[in-house]
Amino acid sequence: MFMFRKLFLVCIVANTIFLGQILKGQNFPEMVFVKGGSFQMGDNNGDADEKPVHPVTLNDFYIGKYEITVAQYKAYCKETGKKIPVEPNADWYEEHPNASKWVWKDNNPIVNVTWKEASDYCEWLSAKTGQKYSLPTEAQWEYAARGGNQSKNYKYSGSNSANKVAWYDETTYEKGTQPVGQLKSNELGIFDMSGNAWEWCKDFFGKYPSGSQKNPTGPESSPFRVIRGGSWYYVSQLARLTARDGPYPHYTNYNYGFRVVRNP
């Protein structure tokens, strides 16, 4: 039995080294381990679509330390032949006189991607690494944003002060997204889950259930998909941990980005 365990551990280490060699030099997302647990999802004092608060239990997972960056998405586009999302045109800059040409700076979050484009990136990343990546479920997103089992029950991801953790309209002066990881992280060391870019989730958008759930994946169908976290162009109220919205999955703009999850 001892020899079996030793061999098992050697295999794990070897596999980790091999994967590290594959990823070396690649611009892939850095991941943070989130220990599974239970939490109360939603906010009975929030908007109607944040109710009712209901108990959720999740298994362990990994989530991106940062939102997917322009540089990471460019690497994907270069390898696959996909088109990088278009930058704002002259009319957009005329409507936003404070904005600078911020969109495709390498360390900024990629934006202007649809739900399908974000999902396609996850499929490509899975094929490249041999690991299963996807968009986070809405429950995974909220649990991670809350700080998982280290949560201090903040209003925003990592603080009760939006200015400490979130890029939103008053801190960006509506000039655009900001480089990831510049503000305070949350309890798990994850950045920008409040503000900077709205983040696509895997789920269809719909009403919350009233009963307890384990590893929920949202409604079976809906015309809409979930986005979370608020953005550089929106008020701080929408950067709260429980705020949510549900645009059409084929729709996007200069606020919509994403981060990824990986199951162990």
Residue-wise pLDDT tens digits, 188-220: 999 999 999 999 999 999 999 999 999 999 999
Alpha helices in the chain (DSSP H): 2-23, 70-80, 90-95, 115-129, 138-146, 162-165, 169-172
Mean pLDDT of 121-132: 97
Cα distances (angstroms) measured from residue 264 to each of 32, 91, 125, 207, 253: 11, 45, 15, 29, 32
Can you tell me the mean pLDDT for 11-15?
38
The one-character DSSP state at 61 is: E
* pLDDT over 50 (residue 105): yes
* pTM, rounded to two decimals: 0.88
Phi-psi region of 169 (alpha: psi -120 to 50; beta: other; left: phi over 0): alpha
Reported as a pLDDT band with limits 50, 70 and 90, residue 21 is very low
When mean pLDDT is compared across 87-91, 102-106, 161-165, the lowest value belongs to 87-91
Q: What is the pLDDT of residues 163-186, one digit of tens each?
A: 999 999 999 988 889 999 999 999
Question: Which residue, among 256, 261, 264, has the nearest Cα to 85 in the 3D structure?
Answer: 256
pLDDT at 3: 40
Return d(Cα 73, Cα 87) in angstroms, integer.
14
Domains and CATH numbers, the chain: 2-262 (3.90.1580.10)
